[in-house]
Homo-oligomer: A and B are copies of this chain.
Amino acid sequence: MKDKVIVVLSGGLDSTTCMAIAHAEGQDIFPLTFVYGQKHTVELEAARKVAEYYGVAERHKIINLEGLLFGSSLTDKDKDIPTGRTLEEIGEGIPSTYVPARNIVFLALALAQAEPLGARAIYLGVNALDFSGYPDCRPEFIAAFQEVINRGTAAGVEGRGIRLETPLINLTKAEIIKKGLELGAPYHLTYSCYQGTVPSCGVCDACILRLKGFREAGAIDPIPYRQFSALCR
């Protein structure tokens, strides 16, 4: 084992790839999952199965933030999750699926677990290319949060440090999938759909980008879908 590390694990494709990377590096993994009133709570079961797959189910912490994150179509009943969008539409501006301060809250609470545990890193599966509309998925945000850690914690000030690891940040979805497949990531256990349907809807932004990623990686997505958008047929 190298270091104790926290892996923020949603149960989706990106965070599961982060688990695979941290596992391949020999890290001592503590998975951390958040319930925040997301409509797609199916992903929590996926997160549990991924933690179990990597043999760390007993350290898997699930933090309940219901009612504390809102203002997004992922959380609010009166806001519809967009479907059937083109790549241009997906890439335009900040989507309604943006959850205010979500990654800031996730990183803050991950840090609160990491510091007393003596963990040396927090892995976060953010990805700036395919989700360029989310301000909290971009390198300049990650750099700013690293500064917060360096200046605002005992670990930072005393020089031990806690690293923010974002190994997927500059990869396309296809590159992420290729890397995950090389490392044996259990994609059959993952779940990405924003709508929370089983099988996955196939037409929300998350399904579209995932299916497109598999196609570009020359691989087959092992999870079932209800339908496919024109983009992914």
- Which residues on A are within 8 Å of B, measured CB to CB? 63, 68-71, 94, 98, 100-105, 107-109, 111-113, 115-116, 135-136, 138, 140-141, 144-145, 147-148, 150-158
Give complex CA distance A220, B111 in Å: 40
Query: Can you list 27 A-B pairs with a CB-CB distance of less than 8 A?
Result: A68-B109, A68-B113, A70-B112, A94-B157, A94-B158, A98-B154, A100-B112, A100-B115, A100-B155, A101-B111, A101-B115, A101-B152, A101-B153, A103-B152, A104-B111, A104-B153, A105-B105, A107-B108, A108-B108, A108-B109, A135-B154, A135-B156, A135-B157, A136-B152, A138-B151, A144-B147, A145-B148
Residue of B with least CB distance to A70: B116
Q: How far is the CA of A186 from the CA of B138 in the complex (A)?
A: 44
Q: Which residues of B contact A111 (CB under 8 A)?
A: 100-101, 104-105
